[in-house]
């Protein structure tokens, strides 16, 4: 279950209905998959082989095809990040640059944890969405955001795309953004 932190006030929003209402306000799609469907060997494996990634996709084939049919995604894959990932610190530094995309950015967290930092309105500023296994989120197109890991630095996520090259990051340098929430 996702939780929200509004960075400027440190207000934390918890509870299914509150989280959904908040995200709906900013047109952020939020849904849930059954995290327990994933084989436990895969849940605790943050260095998946290509074959194991295929197993993840097979496990969630119904959910992926349902989302794709509703929202027009054409392709999907699995990413995993952890301290085993080569150059993880450099990758995270790159991730933590605020940007936008011409396409929405949808991620289904199937193991581990992660945070999307998303810009609300100018007066509200940025909020964190802390994601747990089973959380599915989509940042709308042209909305400033970035993604990062939580302290445990472990995640497995399914990504879906409308077009292979539709997910190009346009930098959104924002002097109002304060790094430490
Ligand atoms: Fe992005």
DSSP 35: G
pLDDT value for 71: 96
Q: Which residues are annotated as a binding site for Ni(2+)?
A: 99, 101, 105, 145
Q: Are 88 and 131 in contact (CB under 8 A)?
A: no
The whole-number average pLDDT for the span 159-173 is: 87
pLDDT value for 166: 66
- Residue 163 binned pLDDT confidence (cut-offs 50, 70, 90): confident
Rounded to an integer, what distance in angstroms lies between the CA atom of residue 75 and that of residue 158? 11
pLDDT value for 164: 73
pLDDT, tens digit, for every residue of 25-59? 999 999 999 999 999 999 989 999 999 999 999 99
Q: Are 71 and 121 in contact (CB under 8 A)?
A: no
CA of 175 to the centre of ligand 1 (A): 18
Q: Rounded mean pLDDT of the chain?
A: 94
Provide the residues around ligand 1 (an ion) whose CB is within 5 A: 105
The correct CATH number of 3-164 out of 2.40.50.100, 2.60.120.10, 3.30.565.10, 1.20.1440.230 is 2.60.120.10
Q: What are the residue boundaries of the structural domains of the chain, listed by start?
A: 3-164
CA of 163 to the centre of ligand 1 (A): 14
pLDDT value for 9: 96
Q: At 108, which helix (H) or strand (E)?
A: strand 105-112
pTM score, whole prediction = 0.94
């Amino acid at each position: 279950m996702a939780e929200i932190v509004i960075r400027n006030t440190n207000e934390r929003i918890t509870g299914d209905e509150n989280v959904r209402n908040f995200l709906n306000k900013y047109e952020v799609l939020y849904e849930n998959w059954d995290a327990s469907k994933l084989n436990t060997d895969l849940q605790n494996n943050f260095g998946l082989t290509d074959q194991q990634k295929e197993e993840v996709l097979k496990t969630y084939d119904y959910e992926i095809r349902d989302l794709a049919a509703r929202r027009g995604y054409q392709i999907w894959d699995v990413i995993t990040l952890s301290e085993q990932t080569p150059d993880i610190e450099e990758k995270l530094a790159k991730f933590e640059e605020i940007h936008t995309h011409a396409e929405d950015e949808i991620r289904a967290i199937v193991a581990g944890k992660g945070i999307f930092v998303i810009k609300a309105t100018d007066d509200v500023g940025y909020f964190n969405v802390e994601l747990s296994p089973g959380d599915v989120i989509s940042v709308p197109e042209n909305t400033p955001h970035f993604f990062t890991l939580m302290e445990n630095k472990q995640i497995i996520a399914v990504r879906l795309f409308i077009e292979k090259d539709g997910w190009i990051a346009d930098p959104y340098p924002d002097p109002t953004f304060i790094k430490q929430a």
